[in-house]
Structure 1
Amino acid sequence: MQGLIISALIAIGVIVLLGMTIRIVPQRNVYVVERLGKYRTSLEAGMHILMPFIDKVAYKHSLKEIVRDVPRQSCITKDNIEVSIDGVMYLQVIDPKSASYGVDDYVMAAQQLAQTTLRSVIGKIDLDKTFEERSEINMEVVQAVDEAAQPWGVKVLRYEVADINLPASIKDAMEKQVRAERERRAVVAESEGDRQAAINRSEGDRQAAINRSEGEKQEMINISEGEKMKQINEAEGRARQIELIAQATATGLREVATAVKEDGGEEAVSLRIAEQYVSAFEKLAKESTTLLLPSNLSDVGGTVAGLQKVLKTIDRTQP
């Protein structure tokens, strides 16, 4: 029985000894080993053999990014407005030895340094710019904390302002300011719309007046052109009429002259003149109650002879 107990104790001792001797480091992790209280080496991912009772794993570090909240704190802006700000910080261990011996708790140290740096940055800017310049605030905090964390073997990757809380009075004043600005923009936009509408109406009226005047002008031009063409056509018609009458009269006179030259022509002409002479006096007597007679009315033959003499003269002048 005692032999079994001794065997079991030996087995347990061997297991414990193996546990103290063999160390398996997970991926993206680093173990810091001390030998007799002094730094010896840093173990990366894989299996490693340690000397029992002499070597021990003093610190374990993850090489992955570490995300930590930066607690909310009160900050005073340049224009003396108190705001409450919290944030998020991203860290990564790049030197396990420095992270083990450079500072007691690098995460807490980075958080505290981020808070103090944030208070300093916020104190340099006005309240309005705390909302407009978040990226600049984040960059300044990262730069300051990363510079201070280099001896700790820690790299500060990013810092983001998560939330900015304002006092109720400041919120109310800002909301009123925003409403006033929106109302002002609405009034400006409405006035711009009215102005543009008035401009468009005036432009439309002006163009309509121009179109009407152009139409009236063209109408008057067309009317004057029509009157001109009408007068030209009437003048040409009258000229043509006179020409035709003259040609007809000339033709008639030539025919009469030709007829006079023929045998019995002069007697026929004399008879025709006498008939028209008598007919003219007859018509004159019918149309008027007063009749003026020539002194030689009885000498119709002399009148006819005079007309015949005229016809002969015309006949001699014809070519």
Structure 2
Amino acid sequence: MTDYTLYIIIALVVIFLFSAIRILREYERGVIFTLGRFWKVKGPGFIIVVPLIQQMVRVDLRIIVMDVPSQDVISQDNVSVHVNAVVYFRVVDPEKAIIQVEDYYSATSQLAQTTLRSVLGQHELDEMLSERDKLNADIQRILDEQTDAWGIKVNNVEIKHVDLDDSMIRAIAKQAEAERVRRAKIIHAEGERQAANELANASEILAKQPSALQLRYMQTLTEIAGDKTNTIVFPLPMDMLETLTNAIKK
């Protein structure tokens, strides 16, 4: 064997060793296939993959943030809205994520879109706007149950935007304005009721103490005297008017 042949053999061995060495980061795992059959999940760190016999598929175990495109949803009260969301998920079983589904990211994305439309279509518009936490929890639970067979764990789902048509925005504004007017009328009526109750209580107290009525009369005269107007309204107590009326009749 010549030196040239020996160098070629050494070079081939070195190339073989370098091609067999794999370094996986802490958040990565390698799904190893031997002659096409699943063997085991390796990593992280230094691993060896036999060339031509074994193949490795890298899987990232970090949380993936997936944006769900805007979906056209018809609410239960027949209102058309555009809704988009964001899904947080991660791979917890690399073997299932590679073997059970062709592309787990694409599969999770499509499932999230259909689930978003299905869940929101069962609720009215007011619930979409005011009960987002409940809707997020419902979507997250359904996605987590259906992706469990793929080795996927859905950690959280957040509805980002609920976009309405201009006509619906104007209708909601009118509804909000009418609601504010209704509340203002109720508050005004409640104030009138409370004022009437207080006046009734005050009249009862004044009826029990005639001197208090005279003091109130004098206070009213004092307030009128301080008014810088040409016309002075001079109030007369009702009991004085009754006395004058009785005197005239006699």
Do these two structures clear the TM 0.5 threshold for a shared fold by scoring above it? yes
Shift of 1:87: 0.6
Shift of 1:196: 1.7
Letter of the 1:74 counterpart: D
Shift of 1:140: 2.5
Paired position in structure 2 for 1:152: 150
Paired position in structure 1 for 2:25: 26
Name which structure has the greater RCO, CA cutoff 8 Å, separation 6+. Answer: 2
List alignment gaps of at least 5 residues for structure 2. Answer: 215-250
Please report the RMSD computed on the Cα atoms of aligned residues, expressed in angstroms.
Answer: 2.7
Question: For 2:206 and 2:14, how far apart are their aligned partners in 1?
Answer: 106
Shift of 1:4: 11
The number of residue pairs the alignment matches comes to 213
The secondary structure found in structure 2 opposite 1:188 is helix
Shift of 1:150: 1.8
Contact map agreement 1:118 1:137 (CA 8 A) in 2: no
Question: For 1:86 and 1:76, how far apart are their aligned partners in 2?
Answer: 14
Paired position in structure 1 for 2:199: 201
Paired position in structure 1 for 2:227: none
Instruction: Summarize the alignment of residues 1-319 of structure 1 with structure 2, pairs less than 5 Å apart.
Output: 13-57=12-56, 59-212=57-210
Larger radius of gyration, structure 1 or 2? 1
Question: For 1:29 and 1:211, how far apart are their aligned partners in 2?
Answer: 91
Letter of the 1:192 counterpart: E
CA-to-aligned-CA distance 1:152-198 (integer Å, 9 cap, x gap) = 11112221211111111111100110011012111211222232233
The secondary structure found in structure 2 opposite 1:52 is coil
Question: For 2:7 and 2:205, how far apart are their aligned partners in 1?
Answer: 113
Please give the TM-score of this superposition, normalised by the length of structure 1.
Answer: 0.60
The secondary structure found in structure 2 opposite 1:78 is coil
Higher share in helix = 1
The secondary structure found in structure 1 opposite 2:41 is strand
List alignment gaps of at least 5 residues for structure 1. Answer: 217-319
Shift of 1:83: 0.7
Please give the TM-score of this superposition, normalised by the length of structure 2.
Answer: 0.75
Question: For 1:214 and 1:167, how far apart are their aligned partners in 2?
Answer: 64
Question: Percent of pairs identical after alignment?
Answer: 36
Shift of 1:42: 0.8
CA-to-aligned-CA distance 1:214-250 (integer Å, 9 cap, x gap) = 999xxxxxxxxxxxxxxxxxxxxxxxxxxxxxxxxxx
Question: For 1:5 and 1:159, how far apart are their aligned partners in 2?
Answer: 63
Letter of the 1:121 counterpart: V
The secondary structure found in structure 2 opposite 1:31 is strand
